[in-house]
Amino acid sequence: MSPARRAARGLRLAAALAGAGLLVALGPAPGAQAHVGRPLTLSATFWFERDLGLYIKVEGHAHFPDGTRLGVGLRRLGAVEYMTWFEGVVRRESFQATLGPWQGPVSAGHYAVDARFEWENQAPAVWSEIQRRAAPRRPAEIEVGRTVLYMGSPFQEVREAAAAATFFGRQLDQLRSAQRGLDDEFARHARREAGRDAAAWAARCADAGQEDGRALQQLLEWRQARPGSAYERVAGLVMVAITQAGELRRAWTRKLYPDQVVDDPIAGGGGGADAAIDVARGELQKAFAACEGALPLPAK
């Protein structure tokens, strides 16, 4: 099968970017010239093999002496963290690498393939050779070459946006509903003449904490099953909202039953506890607003 046909098939891929083997083959590229100290250049193609998964082939000119170590990483375009990372060694100012196979779902969108030169990763002999040949300039501490791949299809992006809107919307709805219930519970307990019940409040907060734990686990599993998803940031923001909900419960507890708060910096409740409730409630509302602002458009 030709590389072009393989690339076309790759647009329909459903391959994973986790748990993969990495196969590195290094070799010369025709026409490579001595340009020590100039930026790295590279290109990448991908294809999907039935019953095997996704492959990505990287080829590049690395204008450094033989033995120079390069890191090559794959990440979602715009993301900071790399989804996979490996090392290649320059030979005759070029390198080639094939990553894969990976199995499982891959999110549609643009991905950056970066090749990185870092001084701290080089052997002394390479340092000496680079300095001897350094023209027209000595390399920076870190040199990065980059190319961009689009994997998946626009139709797949639409489907993923709809699924993400449904999943995260449900998480937020459940969290908001739980908070409304706890808000009412707090008001009842705050009526000292009728609502004081330390054991009941402790049990209610324990149940809420367990619900938060289950929600956080679902979010972690969602992220692990969709490496490179465009909506990883949304998952992180929902996690922040869940954490802030826990802080509000702690502030409520500090007001109602300060003895139940371990390592409480606000001793005795009172005005300090009221201020803590206001802060925690405000932070939770900010977290909700951030989640809603980052959500993809809901499914039609």
Report whether pLDDT(101) > 90: no
Residue that terminates a domain, selected from 152, 177, 206 = 152
How far apart CA 106 and CA 108 sit, in angstroms, is 6
Tell me the per-residue pLDDT of 177-205, one tens digit each, with 9 for 90 and over: 998 898 888 888 887 665 678 888 889 89
CATH of residue 261's domain is: 1.20.120
Largest CA distance in the chain: 87
Phi, psi of 18 (to 5 degrees): -140, 150
Q: What pLDDT shows up at residue 20?
A: 38
| pTM confidence score | 0.65
Q: How confident is the model at residue 263 (pLDDT cuts 50, 70, 90)?
A: low
Asked if the structure places residue 300 within a domain, the reply is no
Residues 122, 195 within the same domain: no
Residue 196 and residue 90 share a domain = no
Asked whether residue 267 carries a pLDDT value surpassing 50, the answer given is no
3-state secondary structure of 56: strand
Any domain includes 208? yes
- Per the structure block, which two tokens stand in for 253? 């507890």
Give the domain extent around 131: 3-152
**Could you report the per-residue pLDDT of 59-89, keeping only the tens digit for each?**
899 888 899 888 888 888 887 888 888 888 8
Q: Are 194 and 209 contained in the same domain?
A: yes
Cα–Cα distance, 279 to 106 (Å, whole number): 40
CATH of the domain at 113: 2.60.40.150
Mean pLDDT (the chain) is 78
In this predicted model, what pLDDT tens digit does every residue of 114-163 receive, in sequence order?
988 888 888 999 888 888 876 555 667 778 889 999 988 888 888 888 88
CA neighbours closer than 13 Å in the CB half-sphere of residue 45: 11
